[in-house]
Structure 1
Amino acid sequence: MAPESEAVEILGEDRSLLLVDDDGPFVRRLGRAMESRGFEVTLAESIAEGRAAIRSKPPQYAVIDLRLEDGNGLELIEALRKVREDTRIVMLTGYGNIATAVNAVKLGAIDYLSKPADADDVFAALTCKPGEKVEPPENPMSADRVRWEHIQRVYEMCDRNVSETARRLNMHRRTLQRILAKRAPR
């Protein structure tokens, strides 16, 4: 089967995908990966850009980050549901917790993935049939890696300010400096 016909078979005729994430390199990398899987990708890096994309052409599929610089990704789920009920939405976040996952699903998301999610995980979540469960990851992140990812995310949110990051994480500044100096755990 040709790649084009495979994509139509799996994704359907409407292969439009909206990716919304304020991490520019991540969203562009994910966009390229999803295009290679047959999607017609539109990128947005803010709530405002996401709303504009939804108004111009409501997508069949959407992957939305929870926390964006100009607001909350849950707003986009609501906006998207108002104009297109059948959109398959996956919520991404670096801050996985049960309350936001439940809220995202109540608003209409079909799945909730923690960052860093790879393109295969996102594709599987977008294309799973209703009631079908996505396979658990082959190599899930270790607890040390999850902790390291969280520290890095807070560090970036604090504009790489070690003192502010240490304060928000409730840890000693020197301890944080040692953690930041090390390589990421596997």
Structure 2
Amino acid sequence: MTDPIVSIESLEDKSLLIVDDDKPFQQRLARAMEKRGFSTETADGLQDAVFKISHNAPAFAIVDMRLEDGNGLDVIQQIRARRPDARAIILTGYGNIATAVTAVKMGAIDYLAKPADPDDIIAALARKPEDKAEPPENPMSADRVRWEHIQRVYELCDRNVSETARRLNMHRRTLQRILAKRAPR
């Protein structure tokens, strides 16, 4: 059986772009990744990232899903266009199944919830493409799966509460109460 993790030390190009508009988190993550052998560069948003990618597309990227000036998926798309072999992951504090699927379809190799541990990030970046991630120790509850489904439909309806309620066959006020609550665990 082969080792499911590619050794970072064995790689020639350890360039890493971290795109996150949360400056303290970005800097902590950059320091942690540098300690683990990466040559890091940071970008505060979509425009900054696109500029840096156009000059030197990185081998690895860690991209926040929601940026002040755009969407992290656009960063993934730019990276994949300039460097198809790049390994990029999406980090987000607003996880839902729809955006995870979209991120993977656009070329991200994984999708992690913030705050992610640097070792978990490295494991995701270093995993061989043919190997699957380990199943979660604590899978989502039924309430969480329901909430994720509602969030997915809400996003697909361009965050229109009335249209989402109609498609889910749910009263609009009930949907508003669900959307106002935090995600169940």
Report the TM-score when normalising by structure 2: 0.69
Correspondences of 1:1-186 after superposition (within 5 Å)? 7-9=8-10, 12-135=11-134, 170=180
Matching residue's letter, 2:9:
V
Task: Indicate if the aligned counterparts of 1:74 and 1:107 stay in contact, CA closer than 8 A.
Answer: yes
Question: Does the CA-based 8 Å contact 2:50-2:78 persist in structure 1?
Answer: yes
Decide whether the 8 Å contact of 1:90 with 1:125 is kept in 2. yes
1-side partners of 2:89 and 2:126: how far apart?
A: 10
- The whole-number CA distance in structure 2 between the counterparts of 1:104 and 1:118 is 20
**Distance of 1:21 and 1:135 partners within structure 2:** 26
Task: List alignment gaps of at least 5 residues for structure 2.
Answer: 1-6, 145-176
**SS, match of residue 113 in structure 1:** strand
- Cα-Cα RMSD: 2.5
Q: Distance in 2 between matches of 1:108 and 1:49?
A: 20
What amino acid is the match of 1:85?
Answer: P
The one-letter code of the counterpart of 2:81 is K
**One-letter code of the match for 1:40?**
S
Deviation, structure 1 residue 52: 1.1
Matched letter for residue 8 of structure 1: E
Q: Check 1:74–1:38 CA distance in 2 against 1; reply closer, same or farther (3 A cut).
A: same
Q: Residue 90 of structure 1: SS of its match in structure 2?
A: strand
Residue 43 of structure 1: SS of its match in structure 2?
strand
* Letter aligned with residue 99 of structure 1: A
CA drift at 1:65: 0.5
Structure 1 residue 7, shift from structure 2 partner = 4.5
Aligned amino acid, residue 116 of structure 1: P
The alpha-carbon distance between structure 1 residues 122 and 137, as it changes in their structure 2 partners (threshold 3 A), is farther
The answer to whether the Cα contact below 8 Å between 2:8 and 2:126 also exists between their aligned partners in 1 is: no
C-alpha deviation, 1:133, in angstroms: 3.1
Counting matched residue pairs gives: 142
3-state DSSP of counterpart to 2:58:
coil
Percent pairwise identity: 54
Q: Could you say what secondary structure the match of 2:129 adopts?
A: coil
Counterpart residue identity of residue 71, structure 2: N
SS of equivalent to 1:26 = helix
Asked whether the 8 Å contact 2:17–2:41 carries over to 1, the reply is yes
Change (3 A) 1:101 1:39: same
Q: CA deviation at 1:63?
A: 0.5
Higher relative contact order (CA 8 A, sep 6+): 2
